[in-house]
Amino acid sequence: MDAERLPNGNTLIAEGELWPDGKVLEFDSAGNEVWNITELDGPVDVERLYNDSYGNITLITEHPRFKGGNVTEYDENGTIVWQIKGLAHPQDAERLPNGNTLIPETGILGPNRVIEYSPEGTKLWLIDGLQYPVDVERLPYQPSPSIEIINPKEGYFHILGRSLFPFPKAFVYGPIDVKVNITSFSGVEKVQFYINDELKKTIIGDETSYEYRWAPMMCGRYTIKAVVYDNAGQNASDSITLFKWRAHPVLLLAGLIPLLG
């Protein structure tokens, strides 16, 4: 019913027969049996953990047919050191870093839920109304990254990369370094710069700054977009639409402001 590869190369295997034939066996890399727990009742999940008080411990979920089940923690001598009994057909047990344990209970007629138990066996949290849950994991909250284009600036007139004064719309004369500010709690996988949805530059990994030198030859409206991807598989983006001017800026200020509309 389950197999767990251990850091030392050994493998735990749960054989889900009913009592008294259910068992969990540990095999070394040569296939030799080196440890076991027998006379179990429908074991479906096994985990090898470490406990400061007992050393290596084995967490076994028993899911017998037609009756409730148990989640039991055994030490290396096969002695029970922790147990939750009388569960409604548990399928899995996940030990959390804080010592609590998540257990999904599954039944054709119910209940179908996940319960979080304290080390003392107290129910701390429950999600009910599920449809036959068989596995559970607690994932750490990982805030999404953020990205902001800080150059060019919205509503400013830029000459040779510098924002000089407020303007009805973002205008750029000459080349400009597109710069962004990024916040990412899991680190940056990559940052990409797009011009009118065309990828122009990709920067891989964490850097102190992220920039793209943009020097188009043609006047016109452009949309710059920057996208950050973090190491947790999340992403965020920011964009700015501006007008790029190639002739001398005095000509623009003198007579081409109507283009803003």
Q: Domain 2-127 maps to which CATH number in 3.40.50.300, 2.120.10.30, 3.30.1330.10, 3.40.800.10?
A: 2.120.10.30
| 8-67: pLDDT as tens digits | 999 999 999 989 999 999 999 999 999 999 999 999 999 999 988 899 999 999 998 777
| 122-134: pLDDT as tens digits | 999 999 999 999 9
pTM passes above 0.75: no
CATH 2.120.10.30 residue ranges in the chain? 2-127
Distances (CA, A) of 89 to 13, 81, 103, 129: 20, 21, 10, 15
* Residue whose token pair is 């007139």: 157
**CATH architecture, range 146-247:** Sandwich (2.60)
CATH 2.60.40.10 residue ranges in the chain? 146-247
* Residue whose token pair is 């028993």: 62
Q: Residues 6 or more apart from 7 whose CB is under 8 A from it?
A: none
| Cα(36)–Cα(180) distance, integer angstroms | 57
- The H-or-E segment that residue 250 falls in is helix 249-251
